[in-house]
Structure 1
Amino acid sequence: MPLGFTAPPAEAVRRLAELGYDGVEVQVRETGAPAAEELTRTVEAAGLKVLGIGTGPVCAQDRLTLTDPSPDVRRHALFRLLGAARLAGELGVPVTLGQTRGTFLPGLEDMQRLWAERAVQQLAEEAADRGSRLLLEPQSRANTSLWHTPGEALAFIDSLDAPAGLVLDTHHLDAEGVDVVRAITEHAAVTGCLQLASPSTRGPLTIGDPRLPALFNALREGGFTGWLTLEHTQDGDSTKAAARSWTALTDAASALF
């Protein structure tokens, strides 16, 4: 994944632990509950925890979406997502959904919206039944035709018959013209994960980023209990990228706490 740590899992968690990270969000492509034991063993061997299961590769690598005109592709996409939800349930962590919901084609918009809504309802129910919880990520219109802002995502979440929350990503909020600090201030309590990257470049965080202290304050005051994910470009060296972001985070936090 271009925005994830590039290394075999055991090596990645070892390096991240050495830098000071507490846990990982694992992006899965095609796996399910049977993988939970091995994944837990690998991550905990480095002293880390799995904090969440992401589903980005389902679309990013295999182009499977819930709004594809082909019924077989839609079924395959949902099958993959349900597997991720079962894995998350075995681990006792949330499962996230981003661009796998897909994009609309001219003349099919209403039908595609219905396909997506029904599939995400099923995914939310599966997650809840397995002891997990769905987190829906508002993404820019460059990625998907559905739920671009926190307000749009929450309006849909309120229609679900299963508990769900938000993933907020600074890159996508910026792309949609949503004030990041304000979004966190308003939605911290329903946000399970905040994904961070430098503004404009979507690269590693930098020391002195003026948004970080404000974001930390908003998270603390809003009752945030989720995790922070560094979802950004790796600049050719994941260890250095992770170190840069860790240094920026700890520098900002030290001034507040």
Structure 2
Amino acid sequence: MTARLPWPLAYTVSGDDCAAPMPLGFGAPLAEAVRRLAELGYDGVEVQVRDTTARDAHALARTAETAGLTVLGIGTGPVAAQDRLTLTDPSPDVRRHALHRLLGAARLAGELGVPVTLGQTRGTFLPGLADTQRTWAERAVAQLAEEAAARGSRLLLEPQSRANTSLWHTPDEALAVIGSFDAPAGLVLDTHHLDAEGVDTVRAVAEHAPVTGCLQLAAPSTRGPLTLRDPRLPALLNALRTGGFTGWLTLEHTQDGDSPRAAARSWTALADAAAALS
């Protein structure tokens, strides 16, 4: 299927440092996950890490390569999801710890030569602290972008719904922040979060394809595996193609209790959509 697509296809997996598999990724240890995904025809993985740095790059790459896959990106969701560390926490120690973890992920990504992504770890506002917390987050994320660039990586900022974070919900809001950085950065677009914020997903993908490093996909409404003959999939693929997208696609969705079946369903749905473009 991916021979018909001009972009690599990845699946979300959890690094071995995670306390448990992330619920929007393959529900198995990393070595098993990459083996099963390779059997299904995926090209690579987007690895969610909790506390991993450059020293772990060789082992991580070897695990993926042994299965015939490539690490395409490093995600940082577990930093907040599993350890409740954010860049806007009222505690200075928590903020420093969160940034330390994110900088470690950026160094890992640089060693692997792939981007590092940032989502919910930027945090949420408390009453009366919004302006101060915004400043904390902007300064920290600018530092993260600079560290990523210095290490040969690139920060990709993900617009997320207000259910996840108080900051940067739309592509335009994320781009405004990126534009203030001294280091190059780009976007991750996630169909679930765009839908939740009432953003026209196909239009957003078409408009922002040149600055988007990754498109994360899930079924509308359910955030589950992709469904066969979903009419939006060919439209999204066409928007990527015409917009000049040069990144990768990631399946990031619930597993419905059976990751191999969920991954197979999404692969089949994208295969069908790609064939419709031929």
TM (normalized to structure 2)? 0.92
SS of the counterpart of 1:204? coil
Equivalence for 1:248? 269
Alignment partner of 1:124 is 2:178: no
CA distance in 1, matches of 2:39, 2:275: 19
CA distance in 2, matches of 1:151, 1:10: 38
Equivalence for 1:58? 79
Equivalence for 1:161? 182
Alignment partner of 1:107 is 2:128: yes
Equivalence for 2:46? 25
Equivalence for 1:204? 225
Q: Which amino acid aligns with 1:192?
A: G
CA distance in 2, matches of 1:159, 1:121: 8
Q: Report the alpha carbon displacement of residue 255 of structure 1 after superposing the two structures with TM.
A: 1.2
CA distance in 2, matches of 1:30, 1:134: 17
Percent identical: 86
Equivalence for 1:7? 28
Unaligned runs of 5+ in 1: none
Q: Which amino acid aligns with 2:55?
A: P
Equivalence for 1:139? 160
Equivalence for 1:98? 119
CA distance in 2, matches of 1:79, 1:194: 26
Q: Deviations over 1:191-210 (max 9, x none)?
A: 00000000000000000111
SS of the counterpart of 2:56? helix
Equivalence for 1:68? 89
CA distance in 2, matches of 1:48, 1:140: 31
SS of the counterpart of 2:277? coil
Q: Report the alpha carbon displacement of residue 48 of structure 1 after superposing the two structures with TM.
A: 0.5
Aligned structure 1 segments of 4 or more residues deviating by more than 3 angstroms: none
TM (normalized to structure 1)? 0.99
Q: Report the alpha carbon displacement of residue 121 of structure 1 after superposing the two structures with TM.
A: 0.5
Alignment partner of 1:80 is 2:88: no
Q: Which amino acid aligns with 1:194?
A: L
Equivalence for 2:60? 39
Q: Which amino acid aligns with 2:147?
A: E
Alignment partner of 1:216 is 2:237: yes
Q: Which amino acid aligns with 1:152?
A: E
Give the paired residue count. Answer: 257
Unaligned runs of 5+ in 2: 1-21
CA distance in 2, matches of 1:62, 1:230: 24
Q: Which amino acid aligns with 1:162?
A: A
SS of the counterpart of 1:229? strand
